[in-house]
């Protein structure tokens, strides 16, 4: 029997090769395993990847609730790594921005920027600043 980590690895490889539907299935299976084991942070990380794939497949309505669930878990768990939180906020901010909610998108980009800044990840800070600047012009 495969472990959740094995299934995630298969999902990663499938995604890397552009087999998005297959990758999403692997990540979904892994998420179920993590959920059953009550490994909430691994579950959150995995459903965030499922949401990312839905975004790649141009299906934001299926991605949105998964991002929100992942963020809820990350924000309520003291063991959450700041990078995981920032990396979950970023794609959710993109989705919200694309949907036209400038106010919420701005808050999300600012939160992500602050997290990336605290981690000294200049690429993340720069991307967030670009989106914030763009939103301020609209």
CB neighbours of residue 93 within 10 Å: 26
119: helix, coil or strand?
Answer: coil
pLDDT per residue over 53-91, tens digit each? 999 999 999 999 999 999 999 999 999 999 999 999 999
pLDDT per residue over 9-65, tens digit each? 999 999 999 999 999 999 999 999 999 999 999 999 999 999 999 999 999 999 999
Rounded to whole angstroms, the Cα distance separating 73 from 57 reads 24
Four-point Cα dihedral 116, 120, 121, 124, nearest 10:
40
| pLDDT band per the 50, 70, 90 thresholds, residue 138 | confident
Place of tokens 């600043």: 129
Q: DSSP character for 90?
A: H
């Amino acid at each position: 029997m495969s472990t959740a980590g094995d299934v995630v690895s298969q999902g990663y490889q499938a995604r890397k090769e552009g087999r998005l539907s297959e990758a999403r299935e692997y990540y979904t299976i892994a998420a179920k395993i993590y959920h059953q084991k009550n490994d909430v942070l691994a579950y959150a990380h995995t459903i965030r990847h499922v949401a990312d794939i839905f975004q790649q497949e141009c299906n934001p309505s299926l991605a949105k609730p998964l991002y929100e669930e992942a963020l809820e878990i990350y924000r309520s768990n003291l063991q959450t790594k700041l990078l995981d939180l920032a990396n979950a906020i970023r794609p959710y901010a993109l989705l919200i921005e694309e949907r036209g909610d400038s106010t919420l998108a701005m808050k999300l980009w600012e939160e992500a920027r602050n997290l990336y800044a605290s981690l000294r990840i200049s690429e993340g800070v720069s991307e967030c600043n670009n989106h914030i600047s763009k939103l301020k012009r609209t």
